Chain A
Amino acid sequence: MTPFSIGAQDNSVDFGSKLVSAERALAAIRPGSRIYIGTGCAAPRTLLARLEAMESGPADLEFVSFLTTSALPQVAGSSLTRYRHRVFFVGSEVRGLAASGQLDYVPISLEEIPRLLTSGRLPIDVALLQVSPPDARGFVSLGVSVDLAPAILKVARTVIAEVNPAMPRTYGESMVHLNRFDALVMVDMPVAQYVHPNIGEVAERVARYIASIIDDGSTLQIGLGRVPNEALRHLRDRRDLGIHSDVITDGVVDLVEAGVVSGRCKTRHRDRIVASYCVGTRRLYDFVDDNPGIQLLPIDQVCDPEEVARQARMVSITQAFAIDLTGQVCVDQFEGEFYGGVSTQAGFIRGAARSPGGKPIICLSSTTDEGASRIKPLLEAGDGVGIARSDVHYVITEYGIAYVFGKSIRERALALIEVAHPRWREMLLSSAKKLGYVRSDQYLASQAAYPVHEERIVSLKNNLKIMIRPARAGDAGALQALFHRLSSDDIYTRFFRRVRSLTYRELQTLCNVNHETEVAFLAVTGPRENEEVVGSACYFLNPTTNLAEVAFMIAPEFQGAGLGTALQVCLQEYAMSRGVRGFVFEILSRNTNMLRLAARAQGTITTLRDEEVVHVTALFPDSRSPLPNSQDAQASQLAA
């Protein structure tokens, strides 16, 4: 045991006098006590093991904890405890205790727990913690887990800690003076480590989608979920990210070392990583040790929705068990079993939603390991709602990204069905019709994943950047808004008739496409959650000729800005990659803008004039075979 002495600045506490054996420290615990256990990797494992091993230990103890990792004695892979456990999060270590009636789960947002404690509604008799050795002034560090400890230290009648030289000394509100402790027990053992299991291909695809919507300068909250942590691996090309998270993991170290996390753009705690606890490997613990760039703060400070909202571009990522078609999210009870917890998700989601440029993200794989859909018509008995439908913004699966905030039930249902597993989409659509969520004539043309890789940013002549992306069934409303911005002449030259409004069926024709023989792209401005459609381009393949009929709509203020050309390039690349032979344009002869656009198509252009309509055929460069019908010669002659 290493002797410690208090420095000259504070000799009022004799560290040595507080050092006792585990048995003697634990003797202070009375039967019937409620005992708080330090969080996660800072759980006092030695004290717990001794307590459990006592032949005639105190009776009727109740342990209170947020999250335990490698804290309870294990027998044949299962946790074995003589006592009851009141937990705020049902982790894998305590989950099995439910069957024996030893587990009490308290659904509560973690940031509310300090108030619960200080109000006296959950009295704590004893706190068992693990801390670093004291410094010269008599301050130990709470190490990798600050989270609930400051609140506990205010209310616990007796405080006992393991002092472990392996525990890193962390900054923030981590320092506690020795005089707050009633007994200290020296231990010298590695701090518990946690390695995220490797995730499969599906989760990796979810992670890639998540990463795709995280912008440079964003501040991240990642939680403990495997998918959010995998998403970190796909952010290596971002710049100036920040971290404001309940927990940090090894993935954060990777991003710091890669120069991706600088905290430079944070609007609170600039240049600092803020978290409440760490879960990871020794590499993470070495990273946070004596590192003033990492601030570990109490959970109620870090996770307060108002504090979260003060960070600009705050991105919160929550992994869910299931979601229904209205957007209700199941995070702590799935198929009757409590697992996980409310944790900090509700607070971070609300905070990120109010953050300027913030993005609250719910992620989940589209199916369970057994293949059942995690996107359900209705949550079932035994599925608990942890996040209200009104708080949900982004929902990401391996089939794409749905944005549902502010959307109607019909729009949500459609958007969520489009990111469900194709095997379940028909069932979901059928159920949505029965529930009255969508129209009875609603269909979904595409059974494939939304082709997110086809999204592209283009610069127009006016230097404005716009996104061109594949259309979805849920774009009908935005397409209708574009239609109503067109002049009556634009509408006539697009549809060759006077049209007051497009029917729902017609709108669906232009956006609810199969992305194979029917293809539609939209040009959109604004952030993903507040897009405005300013252009539409679509093609419809004639399988007999392998030629596709093309049509465009461009918002008036974007006409002449090069948007039509950009959309045409996009359509043509897509078509050529699928072996389409060429495009057919039907253009009113007075529509000179469209005639010019058609003339810019790559390949061999032929035209055929028929009274008011010019039929333009563009055969793509690698498919210059003759047209397969009798009009070929005539078309060529007219073109000549």
Chain B
Amino acid sequence: MQSREPRQINEFKVIDDQGNEYALVENQNVVETRSLKWLAAGPSWFGLADGTPVDKIDDQTFRMATNDTVLHRRTG
């Protein structure tokens, strides 16, 4: 096993109530196995591509930590 490192493990689109679209990335401390699997090492955290932190409300809903803008996972 290698040392744990924060890695982007997911990326998806979200929109706010005004219809603005953002790219939301999910990060997590992971341990990369020698076969290149990323094993989670703790909870994940979210943020926009510009680094703005985002809190997870549930799997479909998120909130920008800086201004409480609610973001919804875009479907389809």
Which residues of A approach B to under 8 Å, CB–CB? 494-498, 502, 506, 509-510, 518, 538-540, 549-551, 586, 611-613
Q: Is the CB of B37 within 8 A of A551?
A: yes
A372 to B9, CA, bound (A): 50
Q: Is the CB of B35 within 8 A of A496?
A: no
CB of B49 to closest CB in A, whole Å: 15
Interface of B is mostly: strand
CB of A516 to closest CB in B, whole Å: 14
Q: Is the CB of B35 within 8 A of A551?
A: yes
Which one of A498, A551, A613 contacts B36 once the chains associate, using CB atoms below 8 Å? A551
Q: Is the CB of B40 within 8 A of A612?
A: yes
Interface residues of B, CB < 8 Å — how many? 13
Q: Is the CB of B9 within 8 A of A497?
A: yes
A495 to B37, CA, bound (A): 4
Q: Is the CB of B9 within 8 A of A586?
A: no
Q: Are A613 and B35 CB-contacts (below 8 A) given A497-B9, A497-B10? A: no
The reply to whether the CB of B38 lies closer than 8 angstroms to some CB of chain A is: yes
A-facing residues in B37-55 (Cβ within 8 Å):
37-40
Q: Is the CB of A495 within 8 A of B36?
A: yes
Residues of A with C-beta under 8 A to B7: 497
Interface of A is mostly: mixed
Nearest 3 CB-CB pairings of A with B: A540-B34, A551-B35, A496-B38
Q: Are A498 and B9 CB-contacts (below 8 A) given A540-B34, A549-B34? A: yes
Which one of B10, B30, B33, B38 contacts A549 once the chains associate, using CB atoms below 8 Å? B33
The reply to whether the CB of B21 lies closer than 8 angstroms to some CB of chain A is: no
Residues of B with C-beta under 8 A to A538: 35
A496 to B26, CA, bound (A): 13
CB of A598 to closest CB in B, whole Å: 14
Which one of A498, A502, A586 contacts B33 once the chains associate, using CB atoms below 8 Å? A586
Residue with the highest number of chain A CB atoms closer than 10 Å, among B7, B10, B39: B39
Q: Nearest A residue to B10 by beta-carbon distance?
A: A498
Q: Are A496 and B39 CB-contacts (below 8 A) given A540-B34, A549-B34? A: yes
Q: Is the CB of B40 within 8 A of A586?
A: no
A549 to B37, CA, bound (A): 10
The reply to whether the CB of B11 lies closer than 8 angstroms to some CB of chain A is: yes
Residues of B with C-beta under 8 A to A550: 35
Residues of A with C-beta under 8 A to B33: 540, 549, 586
Q: Is the CB of A509 within 8 A of B36?
A: yes
A224 to B39, CA, bound (A): 59
Q: Nearest B residue to A615 by beta-carbon distance?
A: B39
A153 to B9, CA, bound (A): 79
A496 to B9, CA, bound (A): 8
Q: What are 17 A-B contacts with C-beta separation under 8 Å?
A: A495-B37, A496-B9, A496-B30, A496-B39, A497-B10, A497-B30, A498-B9, A498-B10, A509-B36, A539-B35, A549-B33, A549-B34, A550-B35, A586-B33, A586-B39, A611-B40, A613-B40
Q: Nearest B residue to A498 by beta-carbon distance?
A: B10
Residues of B with C-beta under 8 A to A496: 9, 30, 37-40
Q: Is the CB of A495 within 8 A of B39?
A: no
Q: Is the CB of B35 within 8 A of A498?
A: no
A-facing residues in B1-48 (Cβ within 8 Å):
7, 9-11, 30, 33-40
Residues of A with C-beta under 8 A to B37: 494-496, 551, 586
CB of A442 to closest CB in B, whole Å: 19
A551 to B7, CA, bound (A): 21
A509 to B10, CA, bound (A): 23
Q: A498-B10, A510-B36, A586-B35 are in contact. List 4 more A-B contacts (CB 8 A).
A: A495-B37, A586-B39, A612-B40, A613-B39
Residues of A with C-beta under 8 A to B35: 510, 538-540, 549-551, 586
Residues of B with C-beta under 8 A to A540: 33-35
CB of B23 to closest CB in A, whole Å: 13
CB of A484 to closest CB in B, whole Å: 16
CB of A536 to closest CB in B, whole Å: 10
A498 to B25, CA, bound (A): 11
CB of A579 to closest CB in B, whole Å: 19
A586 to B34, CA, bound (A): 11
Residues of A with C-beta under 8 A to B10: 497-498
Q: Is the CB of A498 within 8 A of B11?
A: yes
Q: Nearest B residue to A584 by beta-carbon distance?
A: B33
A506 to B36, CA, bound (A): 7
A502 to B37, CA, bound (A): 12
CB of B35 to closest CB in A, whole Å: 4
Q: Nearest B residue to A509 by beta-carbon distance?
A: B36
Q: Is the CB of B11 within 8 A of A497?
A: no
A551 to B37, CA, bound (A): 9
A124 to B7, CA, bound (A): 79
A532 to B35, CA, bound (A): 22
A212 to B11, CA, bound (A): 49
A613 to B37, CA, bound (A): 11
Q: Nearest A residue to B33 by beta-carbon distance?
A: A549
Q: Is the CB of A495 within 8 A of B38?
A: yes
Q: Nearest A residue to B35 by beta-carbon distance?
A: A551
Q: Nearest B residue to A539 by beta-carbon distance?
A: B35
Residue with the highest number of chain A CB atoms closer than 10 Å, among B33, B34, B39, B40: B34
Residues of B with C-beta under 8 A to A509: 34, 36
A610 to B39, CA, bound (A): 10
Residues of B with C-beta under 8 A to A510: 35-36
Residues of A with C-beta under 8 A to B11: 498
CB of B73 to closest CB in A, whole Å: 15
CB of B70 to closest CB in A, whole Å: 24
Residue with the highest number of chain B CB atoms closer than 10 Å, among A496, A510, A551: A496
Residues of B with C-beta under 8 A to A551: 35-37
A509 to B36, CA, bound (A): 8
A495 to B9, CA, bound (A): 10
CB of A340 to closest CB in B, whole Å: 48
Q: Nearest B residue to A500 by beta-carbon distance?
A: B11
